[in-house]
Amino acid sequence: MDNVNEQLVTINKSTAQKASYIVLIFLIIVAGLFVFIFTAPLFNSLLLGLILGGVVIFLGLFLLSNSVFEFEYAFTNGELDIDKIIAKRKRKRLITVDIKGINDFGKYNDAPKAPSDTTIINAHDGTSGNTYYADFRSQKYGITRLYFSPDEKTMSNINKYLPRNLRNK
């Protein structure tokens, strides 16, 4: 029987991050109005000023939307695929982990200090309460440490494939 599970992890933003996001939206709109106010008289065309101001606002909001992302964990028969979904329109594969090849595994708070040559991959929800770490060797990155936030079902599937000495840590 196949062990298959998918989990979508949204990032928990702090109040300061939410406030800075609102300030950036305000600044983008002000920049668009600034472009409109100065280009309309310069080219003696309200339409051109309106178009250029609109383009500035659109580009600013488009770039700002790329800072909104979430992670998707897809667990299939001992392999954990982690994708980063950017602004709900682009998907990028971060890494594929063979659970049987994990060297060390545990809660985020219990993680030993990573060696300096370790590649760190952050794919967690932003809180340390439900965050785990996994150390393994990757063909692409070498020595790798993954921080991720699995739910109960994903964790149960991972535990089935973990090496015996790392289970239920």
Question: Rounded to two decimals, what is the model's pTM?
Answer: 0.81
Are the C-beta atoms of 148 and 94 separated by less than 8 Å? no
Q: Answer yes or no: is pLDDT of 169 > 60.
A: no
* Interval 60-78 mean pLDDT: 90
**pLDDT, position 72:** 95
Q: Answer yes or no: is pLDDT of 168 > 80.
A: no
The answer to which of 16-30, 76-90, 114-128 has the lowest mean pLDDT is 114-128
Contacts of 4 (CB under 8 A, 6+ apart): 75, 76, 77
- Intra-chain end-to-end CA distance of the chain, in Å: 25
C-alpha torsion 82→106→165→161, nearest 10: -20
The residue type found at 55 is: V
Compute the mean pLDDT over every residue in the chain, rounded to the nearest whole number. Answer: 89
CB atoms within 10 A of CB 49: 19
Residues linked to residue 93 through DSSP beta bridges, in sequence order: 83
Are the C-beta atoms of 80 and 97 separated by less than 8 Å? yes
